[in-house]
Each structure stands twice: as C-alpha cells, then as structure tokens.
Amino acid sequence: MSGALAGLRVLLTGAAGGIGRATGAALVAAGARVAHADRLPPLGVDGPALGGDVSLEADAVRLVAEAVAALGGLDVLVNNAGILVEQPLLETTVETFDQVIGVNLRGVFLMGREAVRAMPGTGRIINVASELGILGRANASPYCASKAGVIALTRSWARELAPRILVNAVAPGPIDTPMLDFAARTPEEKAIETNLPLGRIGRPEEIAAAIVFLASPGASYITGQCLGVNGGAAMT
C-alpha cells in the first residue's frame, strides 16, 4: 500500500457518523489500515468494523483488543465518537449531564488509556474536540465542558506520554453532519453557525484532512496542540 500513511494501523471511533465516515475514507486513501468502531459495527467501510460503546470500560477494553487482533497492533487512535445535547441549563438533568460527559469525555479517557496500553512503541492519539470547548455556547454547557475536558486530556497526555506518543486534538467548527443537522435549523440558528470569517459551515472531509495530517510523518514535531478547523470561528 502506498500513500503518506502506508502501513499505519488506526482505530477510529464514531466511524459511522459524518466526520467518522469521511475520516475513515481519507485514512484508507492515504494508505492506513483502519478498524472502524461505532455503537454498532459500521456498514460499508473498508476494514474491520467493530461495535461497542466507548463510554463503557468493558467495551473500550474490548474494542482496543479487537482492533489490535484485526490489525496486528495499533499505531494511531482517533477518538471521534461524540454526542451533542442542546438544552438550557435549567432543563438539563443529571442524567443528561452524565451521558454527555460519559461519551465525550470518559469515552476519550477510556479509549485513550486502553490504546496506550496497546502501544508499546511509538504512537499517536488524535482527539476530536470542538471549537465550543474554547468558545462556550448557550444551551450546550455539558457538551462544551466535555470538549474543554478533551482539550485538557490532550495536553496532559501530550506531556505525560512524550516523546513516545504524540497527542493532539482537532477542534472542528460547524460541520455538515447528522449531529449539526444544519438543514433542519431555523434561520436564526443557521446565522449563528455561519457568522464566522469563511461564512459557511464546513465539510466532513475538511476535518478528515486535518486528522490525516496529524497522523502523518509530517506532523512528527507536533504534540499537545489543538488544531482549529473552524472557518475562523475561534482563533487561539
């Protein structure tokens, strides 16, 4: 297999979603072998398809073990699975808060910890955060807190695991996926999403390209960074 990522063994979570599908396809096109994981095994992907809930410890342990068995080892983990709940603070239950933190933050922690166990040599972890983890957003505080936590995990692991394992985050802006459901939004909501320097929402392929770069040999001197791919919405 030729390409910038030839021979790289990658475990990708949230692989059935909008950014996940584009990322899986881009990683494979760049020469990587990809284990595609989601709550249910994703259909129509190029490589092993695994099913499990990243927020559950037993599932995280099993997903990493299955990926290692299928790929013969693990070089890169892409922590992309996530959920968005939009609710005012006063309507947010403890159950909702725990669910969002459970998937978006505990899931990243569990998958990251198990992946590191499976990386005896060098490796990379790429966490999908969000610009909202930096900017905050009304009516989405658990989500924003979870993504700020992902950025903090990224920086902490980058320090702890250097120089063996490089750990970075990608922080997307508004991206055209089922999660954003842009077409169904009100004109006011659409205006909030597109009120940024590039004046449009992004495509999943534009996030995938950043993830491919962070997995590539060209990113060998990059760790602990949070790469904003957001049309200029946040500049940090």
How many chain residues bind ligand NAD (CB under 6 A)? 28
Select from 14-22, 87-95, 161-169, 215-223 the region that touches ligand NAD (CB under 6 A).
Answer: 14-22
Q: Residues 167 to 186: which contact ligand NAD by CB under 6 A?
A: 172, 174-175, 177-180
Residue of the chain from 5, 36, 64, 82 that contacts ligand NAD (CB under 6 A): 82
Q: Which two tokens stand for residue 22?
A: 């584009």
- 78: closest CA among 30, 13, 133? 13
Residue of the chain from 4, 29, 39, 92 that contacts ligand NAD (CB under 6 A): 39
- Shortest Å, Cβ 174 to ligand NAD: 5
- 71: closest CA among 49, 52, 38, 53? 49
Assess 38 for contact with ligand NAD (CB under 6 A).
Answer: yes
User: In angstroms, what CA-CA distances link 130 with 44, 82, 83, 208?
Assistant: 27, 10, 12, 14
Of residues 71 and 226, the one with the C-beta less far from ligand NAD: 226
- Shortest Å, Cβ 59 to ligand NAD: 7
User: In angstroms, what CA-CA distances link 158 with 55, 76, 102, 140?
Assistant: 22, 14, 22, 27
**List 17, 140, 143, 228, catalytic entry:** 143
Q: Which two tokens stand for residue 120?
A: 């005896």
3-state secondary structure at position 55:
coil
Which positions are catalytic?
A: 143
